[in-house]
Amino acid sequence: MKFYNIFIKYRLPLGVVSLIGAILVTIFSGFWPSLALYIIAVLCIFTHFFIGPLRLIQEFLEEGDFDGAEKILNGIKYPNLLYKPIQSVYYTLKGNIAMTKQDFDSAEKHMKKSLSLGSPMKEAEGANKLQLGMMAMQKGNMKEGESLIRQALKAGIADKESAALANLQMCQIMMQKRAFRSAKDFFRRAKAQKATTQQVVDQIMQIEKYISRMPG
């Protein structure tokens, strides 16, 4: 695994060196002796631009090193050459890192780009739409926010804390619309997630104080 990560890190220089070597061997000894070097060069250069180094980011994310992850992302000079599902992950990661920096405009741009490419996983699609929905709500765009959060719940949100948060947000939207039956339904779904994050638990406790008194 470690060797594979080292290979990914130095894949492009290896490909360039192999290509130069292949050309030199071709000049002095002919094409066939250089064939293996050409194959190595093509594989290294092609996979560098088509697949990219996103695998290297996993270790940084697990350690919470967002600066290290961002450095690798910034090293991808031609993201449009990436395989489409990988390109989608690239923009999702860019959006998540922008969120950690409170750069909501950049986060929104990257998330929308990721969704336009089609998410390789339904869960990732749901998470992206939830973040976009929450950002829309913060900007006061209630209609777009509600639509995106509904889409997020429909796509599925794997993380229980985020799923609870999405249902709580929909509960509050329904309460504002005086659609009390729907509000109670979303509240039940939020509680069913059994969230443990203090922020989510506090919201559930606050809403629970008066939701039972609502009609419907």
* Number of residues written out for the chain: 216
Please tell me what DSSP assigns to residue 140: T
Q: Average the pLDDT over each of 5-14, 57-66, 180-189 and give the range with the smallest value.
A: 57-66
Residue 216: both structure tokens together = 């419907």
Amino acid at 133: G
The tens digit of pLDDT for each residue in 46-56 reads 999 999 998 88
Look at residue 122 in the predicted model and tell me its pLDDT: 62
Instruction: Give the global pTM.
Output: 0.78
Position 3 confidence tier, pLDDT thresholds 50, 70, 90 = confident
Asked whether 169 and 199 are in contact (CB, 8 A), the reply is: no
Amino acid at 44: C
The tens digit of pLDDT for each residue in 109-164 reads 998 999 888 766 666 788 889 989 999 988 889 999 999 999 999 988 888 999 99
Look at residue 147 in the predicted model and tell me its pLDDT: 95
The tens digit of pLDDT for each residue in 162-198 reads 999 999 999 999 999 999 999 999 999 999 999 888 9
Residue (of 185, 153, 157) closest to 171 by Cα position? 185
How far is 108 from 94, CA to CA, in rounded Å?
A: 10
Using alpha carbons only, what angle is made at residue 182 by residues 176 and 184, rounded to the nearest 5 degrees?
90
Helical axes 198-211 vs 180-192, angle rounded to 10°: 140
